[in-house]
Every structure is written in structure tokens, then in C-alpha cells.
Copies of this chain bind each other. A is one copy, B any other.
Amino acid sequence: MKNLNESKLKFIEETASLMEKKGFSPIVSRILSFLLIADTEEKSFYEIQESLNASKSAVSNGISLLLDKNFIKANTNPGDRKRYFRLNVETWIEVLKSITEEYKGYRMAIDKALELRSEKFTESNSQLTKIRDLYQLFETKLPVILSEWETKNSSQA
């Protein structure tokens, strides 16, 4: 990896590993982490490849995936054949907004489980119901937090 100082390398390593826990592949994670702390907002294919010291195909496939999932966007400038890539912050926000849906999925799974379980399991069913209720609480409270955040942003922006 070139053109990157100690602390940026450390950032990429650590942040990429957080992203890998979310299901991104190592290179995809490193591309995202790199764009997050790059010294210009946009980076070319070659700059990414060089900085991360990866193969063209790995970078090409990684970029395709990220463009496809809208995590980055591409730009071209007149008189320059290269494409320049930057983070698409909107998608990040969308992902955060969709967390509620994720919790809803778990809550519904527990509902289904309670339906399929014997009613005789009184003690454990009541514990499961409590967990269900916590997911339910997340389901109702997260949108409140999100709208609080949105009004805060619209007023200051």
C-alpha cells in the first residue's frame, strides 16, 4: 500500500474489519474505508488500485459491486477518460433507516416461534415474549429517533 501514512493504514485496517463483520469482502471493505479517508474526495481506479496494492480485477469487481449497491458513485470529467469514484453517503443513511425493518424481521420470527411452540412452556414462553417486546419497542422507538434526527438536521441545514 502506497501513499498512505501510518494512521490512515491503521484506519483502513480497523474500519475494513468492522465492515467485513457486516458481510463485505475484504477488498470491498478496504475500498470503502480508503475512500472514507482519502486526501481527495474522488479517487480514480488506478489510485484505488495502487493505494490498496490490489489487482485490477479485484478492484474492478469490488467497484462494480459497490456501484451496484449504490455505496459509491462514479464521475467522469470532460477531456479525461478516467472515472472517479466517491462515497455515496445517501445510501449509508438509507441503510441506517432500514435497521427498523431488520428488527421487525426478528420480532416476526419470534411471533411465529411463539405460535409454533407448545403453550405448556409457560416460563420460557414468557421470557421469549419479553424479548419479542424489546424488538417491538425498537420497532416503534427507532423511527422516533430517526425523525428527531431528521428535524434536527433540517433545522440546522
Q: Which residues of B contact A39 (CB under 8 A)?
A: 118
Contacts A118-B39, A138-B145 given; indicate if A128 touches B23 (C-beta within 8 A). no
Please determine whether A106 and B18 come into contact, CB atoms closer than 8 angstroms: yes
Please determine whether A109 and B15 come into contact, CB atoms closer than 8 angstroms: yes
- Chain B residue nearest to A36 in the complex (CB): B113
As a 0/1 sequence over residues 114 to 127 of chain A, the CB contacts with chain B under 8 angstroms (1 = contact) are 00111001001011
Smallest CB separation, A105 vs chain B (Å): 6
Interface size on A, residues (CB 8 A): 45
Smallest CB separation, A118 vs chain B (Å): 6
Partner pick for A18 among B18, B23, B105, B130, CB 8 A cutoff: B105
Partner pick for A148 among B113, B137, B153, CB 8 A cutoff: B137
Smallest CB separation, A12 vs chain B (Å): 10
Q: Give Cα A11–Cα B114 distance, bound, in whole angstroms.
A: 11
Please determine whether A18 and B109 come into contact, CB atoms closer than 8 angstroms: yes
The answer to whether A58 has its CB under 8 Å from any CB of chain B is no
Most buried by B among A7, A36, A106: A36
What are 18 A-B residue pairs whose CB atoms fall within 8 Å in the complex?
A7-B116, A18-B105, A37-B116, A39-B118, A87-B124, A89-B127, A93-B131, A93-B134, A96-B131, A96-B134, A126-B157, A130-B153, A133-B149, A134-B145, A134-B149, A137-B148, A141-B141, A141-B145
